[in-house]
Structure 1
Amino acid sequence: MGRSGDFNATLTHDDRKLLAGQRINPEAAFRRWVNESEMIDIGFSGPKYTWCRGSSSSCIDRVLVNSRWQQAFPNASIMHLPMFKSDHCPLLISLDGMNKPRKGNQPFRFFAPWVMHDQFKSFVKDNWQTQGDWNVNIEDFKTHLLQWNRQVFGNINRRKEHLYHRLEKLNTKIDMSGSSEQLDQAKKELWAQIEEVLSQEEVMWLQKSRCNWYHQGDHNTKYFHSLASSRQRHNKIEALKLESGEWSYEPQEIKEWGTKFFETLYTEEDASNPEINFNIDFP
C-alpha cells in the first residue's frame, strides 16, 4: 500500500521554514497516523521543500508506503521537480529507479555469507599467496574468489528455492508411500541445508542493510530487506544542485559535476611542497 500527495502536514521539525529561519513542531496527529499505519517515507531527490509562498516553505508533499510496497518496488525513487505555475512542486515517482547503476562499474565487495561455507577456510588457505607483491596477490585472490562464488557457493536465493522444491517433492513422496527411516533421514539432512541457507540469507540482508543490531537465528530477512532497500535508494544521486542554484536531473551532467567537485577538492593549490630531511638512513 502507498499514499502520495499533499498531506498538508509535516513529520519533522525541518519540514517547515518560516520567517528568519524559524521552525515549528511537526503535526503530532499526522506522525501518529504514519506510525500506527506502519508507513515509511522513502525519501526523495531534488529540492527539500515542496511548497513555497512568500518567505515560508515546507515539505508537505511526500510518498508514504508500507513494507509490502517496498518489497514489490525495491528500486522505486521519488524526485521533487521544479515548481511551475503552482506553489507546489510535482513529485515524479519512478518504480524502476531513475539512474540504474551499471554492473561493470560496481566495485568488488566482500560477501559476508562466504565465511559461513564449510569450504571457505580451505579455499582461502589454498588461494592466498603469502609471497610476492601485495596488490597482485589481492587481484589474483579476488579473481579466484569470484570464480569460487559462481562455481561452489552459488546464488543464495536460487539455492533456497531449489531446496524448498526438493522438500516439497520429498513430502509428497512421504504422503504417498509412507514414512521410512531412509526418507526421515533425507528430510532431516534437507532441513539442515535449508537452515544453513536461511542463515546465509539473513547475514546477506544484514550486510546490505548495515543494521546496527542483530540477533542471529531470527531469520528476520523482511526487516533487513526493508532497510537495505531504503539504504539503496538513499545512496543514489538522482538530482544535484549546481553552482548556479539550479537543479540538474541529467545523469551525465550529474556525473561530470561530481567528478569536477572531487578533482578540485583533492587537487593541491601549491604542489611545490618543500622536502623534509629527517636525517635517517634506511638499509
Structure 2
Amino acid sequence: MVKEEWKGLGELQFTDKLKVLTGPLGRWHRDNFGDMDKKIKKFEEEIKKIDDMVANGTYNGRVEARRKALVTCCEKWYVRKEIHWKQMARSRHARHIDKNTRYFHNLASARRRNNRIDTLVINRRMVRNQAKIKIAIREFYKELYRQEKSPMVGFRDGLVERIDEEDATTLERLPTPEEVREAVRVTSEFFDGT
C-alpha cells in the first residue's frame, strides 16, 4: 500500500510525500486496527454463542474448530491491543519529554547558578577567583579529614576507636518485649505532650 501510494505522488519533495502519506496510512490503520475493543467484543460474543450452543446439546467437530479459531483470533486482538497501548504510552512519554526539554534545561541552569560559589572569604579576605576558590575548598576538606592523632577522647587517627566485644554484643542483641513496650510508651507520651 505504501509503495503504491508513494509511486502515485510523483515528483514531490521527500518531506511532502511523508506528509501526504499520513492520510492513507491513517485510513489503513483505521480499517485494519481501528476500534479494537469492538472487534474483541464481536469475537467474545461469537464464542459465547458457541458455548451456549454446546450447553444446549449442539456439539460437533465443526463447532469445536470454529470455537478454537475464534479464541485464537480473539487472543491475537488482545495482544495487538496490548502492543498498541505500550506504543501509545511510549510515544506520549517521548512527546512530553520533547515539550519539557526547555523547561528542564532552564531548571538545570538555575540550579547550576544557585550552587555556584562566586565569592569566598579565605583568611578574612574575600576571594572571587574561581581557581583560588576551588583550591581553598579542596585544602579545607583535606585538612578536615587529615588523619592525625586527635586530642579528643574516643578518637584515634581521625576515626572513632573500635568498640570492645561486650559493647558490640550489646548493640547486636534484640530488644526484649518489655523494652519495646517501654520505647513505644515513651514515644507516645512525647508525641501526646504528656
More strand by share: 1
* TM-score by shorter chain over 0.5: no
Larger radius of gyration: 2
More helix by share: 2
Q: TM-score, normalised to structure 1's length?
A: 0.30
Q: TM-score, normalised to structure 2's length?
A: 0.42
Structure number with higher relative contact order (C-alpha < 8 Å, ≥ 6 residues apart): 1
